[in-house]
Amino acid sequence: MKRVIVGLSGGVDSSVAALILKTKGYEVIGIYLKNTLLDKNCDWEEESLTALMVSQQLGIPFYIIDITNYYKQIIYDHTINNYLKGKTPNPDILCNKKIKFNLFMKKSAILKADYISTGHYVRRKKISGRFNHTYKLFTALDHKKDQSYFLCCLNQYQIKKSLFPLGNLNKKQVRTIAKSAKLVNAKRKDSQGICFLGKKNFSSILKKTITKKIGTIILINPECNIYKNKIDKFSLKNKINILAELAEKIKYKPKYGNQIGLHEGVACFTKGQRKGIQLGGFNHPLFVLDKDLKHNILYVGQGKKHPGLFKSVFFIKKKHITWLNKNYKNIIKEKKPFKIKAKIRSQQKLQRATLYCINNGIYICFKLPQRAMTEGQYIVLYFKNELIGSCLYD
């Protein structure tokens, strides 16, 4: 009998994952990861109690691992430091790579488990080769619940050792399975918010953590000359030079706009943000376009279609690229345009794009301009429905 460790969060998804695996004949062990860093926002006691009750219903062993200190060092401090540098990191992606799957792997060795499992909506497939096997991840059949985006930094070994029982199900089916088994959390609402931090608005956490530093807010006119010289279309003849120009980041300066107010620190804002600017009296809502950390200036624009919010081409350094399958890495090395699909946010529909490889990285050219892509975020790459890699935009 194969042994599998299941990460039980207290939610219905991970509980049904454990139930399915047990029904298939696996020896299941439940583990809850306890984090009390922001205890008031986490409700870990309720979650762990629910996970314990589910384990009792399923008749499986249950353990609680306290990851508070580890989480603070690896995720929380990293996230705060990146905001201080003007970036907008994704704690959920890092948490999956560095904590959930990493700790479960270590625990599986101690408990002599063959696999680990979570309640993520994603499909895993084993592709048999002549000399070895490749393990691939595909989007879930339920595209609304697909969570492949958050697993974009896993390596081959982590994928090989992981099982994802929910990949072929939709949420309604998962609820039905839970109700049929009379699980205590069958009707429990889905959790939302940052990994292990719950629903707490992260901007409020930042304001308490980061020292206030009053600075100016500059309104940029959408008709500004800095947008007029951008190339909209390009030919393959001079593709690298033109791609480089398109990928270059706009350098905002106070002379390009007018001062309209003050802020309490640019680190608390992210590109595309609307709430929190706290200035009224304009024809259209204000959105953050960019930040100047050195001079503590916040640049904003009116309206959700402001040209400063959109960009089509991004350059990614080689060191910031992760491939789940080395075959795609080799294909890109051929330096030919390679058509893919990609997205910059978890719930976004897959967007058509083309990769162009050069010696020190790749250019990602989207067919349609992408809104409010921010340094520190990930562009996740797909070939058809297969998750093939990710790019950290820096």
Tens digits of residue pLDDT in 99-156? 999 989 988 999 999 999 999 999 999 988 766 789 999 999 999 999 999 999 999 9
Residue 232 pLDDT > 70: no
Give the Cα separation of 260 and 309 in Å (integer). Answer: 19
Is 185 a residue whose pLDDT tops 60? yes
Looking at residues 210-238, what average pLDDT do you find? 80
Element (DSSP H or E) covering residue 22: helix 12-23
Catalytic residue (choose from 195, 268, 365, 391): 195
pLDDT at 42: 60
Please give the C-alpha separations between residue 258 and each of 65, 280, 320, 336, 389, in angstroms, as whole numbers: 53, 15, 36, 44, 41
Only one residue has tokens 């304001």, namely 207
What pLDDT does residue 212 have? 85
pLDDT of residue 173: 98
Is residue 268 among the annotated active site residues?
no
Average pLDDT of span 52-64: 97
Q: Is 95 a catalytic residue?
A: yes
- Kindly report, residue by residue over 20-55, the tens digit of the pLDDT: 999 999 999 999 999 888 765 567 889 999 999 999
Residue 230 has pLDDT above 80, yes or no: no
Residue 92 to residue 217: CA distance in whole angstroms:
30
Q: Which two tokens stand for residue 129?
A: 């080769």
Give the pLDDT band of residue 268 (cuts 50, 70, 90): confident
Q: In 10 A of CB 338, how many CB atoms?
A: 17
Q: Is the pLDDT of residue 198 over 60?
A: no
Q: Which residue did the predictor score with more confidence, 194 or 283?
A: 283
DSSP string for 202-264: HHHHHHHHSPP--EEEEEEPTT-HHHHT--S---GGGHHHHHHHHHSPP---GGGEEEEEEES
Task: Identify the residue with better confidence: 241 or 297.
Answer: 297
CA atoms within 13 A on the CB side of 31: 22
Cα–Cα distance for residue pair 380/378, rounded to 1 Å: 6
Quote the pLDDT of residue 13: 97
Query: pLDDT tens-digit profile of 321-338?
Result: 999 988 887 777 666 889
Which residue in 375, 294, 386 sits closest to 83, CA to CA? 375
Return the ∠ at Cα 193 (arms to 189 and 199), rounded to 5°.
75
CA distances from 10 to 35, 37, 40, 54, 341 (A): 13, 18, 17, 8, 34
Using CA of residue 283, residue 287, residue 289, residue 295, what is the dihedral sign? positive
Looking at residue 236, its pLDDT comes to 54
Quote the CA–CA distance of 256 and 65 in Å, as a whole number: 53
pTM: 0.92
Mean pLDDT of the chain: 90
Q: Report how far residue 41's alpha carbon sits from residue 179's, in angstroms, rounded to the nearest whole number.
A: 28
pLDDT of residue 228: 80
pLDDT of residue 234: 54
Higher-confidence residue: 210 or 48? 48
Give Cα 220 to chain centroid, integer Å: 29
Q: What is the pLDDT of residue 118?
A: 96
Question: In angstroms, rounded to a whole number, what is the distance separating the alpha carbons of residues 19 and 2?
Answer: 15
For residue range 347-377, what is the model confidence (pLDDT) as tens digits? 999 999 999 998 899 999 999 999 999 999 9
State residue 194's pLDDT score.
58
Gap between the Cα atoms of 107 and 111, Å rounded: 6
